[in-house]
Amino acid sequence: MSVAIPTVAPVPDQWVQAQAAGATSTLEEVLLASHLLGANRALANFGGGNTSAKGIATDHVGREVSAIWVKGSGSDLATMSASDFTELRLDEILPLLQRTEMSDEEMVAHLARCQLDPAAPRSSIETLLHAFIPAAHVHHTHPDAINALACARDGRQLIGECFGDSAAWIEYIRPGFTLAKQVGEAVRAKPGLRLVVLAKHGLVVWGDTARDAYEQTIAVCNQAADLVNARTEGRRRFAGPAGDAGLDADARRAALAQILPTLRGALSSQRGKLLLTDTSPAVCELVQSRDGAAVATIGAACPDHLVHTKRVPMWVSYDPAHDTIAQLRDRVVAHAADYRREYEAYFERYAATGDRMSDPDPRVVLIENLGMVTAGTTPKAARISRDLYHRAIEVMAGAGSVSRFRRSSR
Q: Is 314 helix (H, G, I), strand (E, B) or coil?
A: strand
Task: Write down the pLDDT at residue 66.
Answer: 97
- Whether the Cβ atoms of residue 43 and residue 217 lie closer than 8 Å to each other: yes
What's CA 46's distance to the chain center, in Å?
Answer: 8
Q: In degrees to the nearest 10, what's the CA dihedral of 198, 202, 204, 210? A: -170
Three-state secondary-structure class, residue 227: helix
The reported pLDDT for the residue numbered 410 is: 53
Residues 6+ apart with CB under 8 A from 353: none
Domains (range + CATH), the chain: 15-232 (3.40.225.10), 239-402 (3.40.225)
Tens place of pLDDT per residue across the chain (410 aa):
444 444 677 899 999 877 656 777 889 999 999 999 999 999 998 988 999 999 999 999 999 999 999 999 889 999 999 999 999 999 999 999 999 999 999 999 999 999 999 999 999 999 999 999 999 999 999 999 999 999 999 999 999 999 999 999 999 999 999 999 999 999 999 999 999 999 999 999 999 999 999 999 999 999 999 999 998 877 888 988 987 756 899 999 999 999 999 999 999 999 999 999 999 999 999 999 999 999 999 988 888 888 899 999 999 999 999 999 999 999 999 999 999 999 999 999 988 888 888 899 999 999 999 999 999 999 999 999 999 999 999 999 999 889 999 876 55
pLDDT, residue 8, reads 79
Provide the 8-state DSSP code for 354.
Answer: T
- pTM summary value: 0.93
Residue 333 three-state SS: helix
CB-based contacts of 369, cutoff 8 Å, min separation 6: 245, 247, 252, 287, 288, 318, 319, 320
Q: What is the pLDDT of residue 275?
A: 98
Alpha-carbon distance values, 167 to 82, 177, 191, 400 (Å): 31, 21, 11, 22
- 102, containing H or E segment: none
Residue 6's pLDDT is: 44
Q: Closest by alpha carbon to 365, among 294, 288, 275?
A: 275
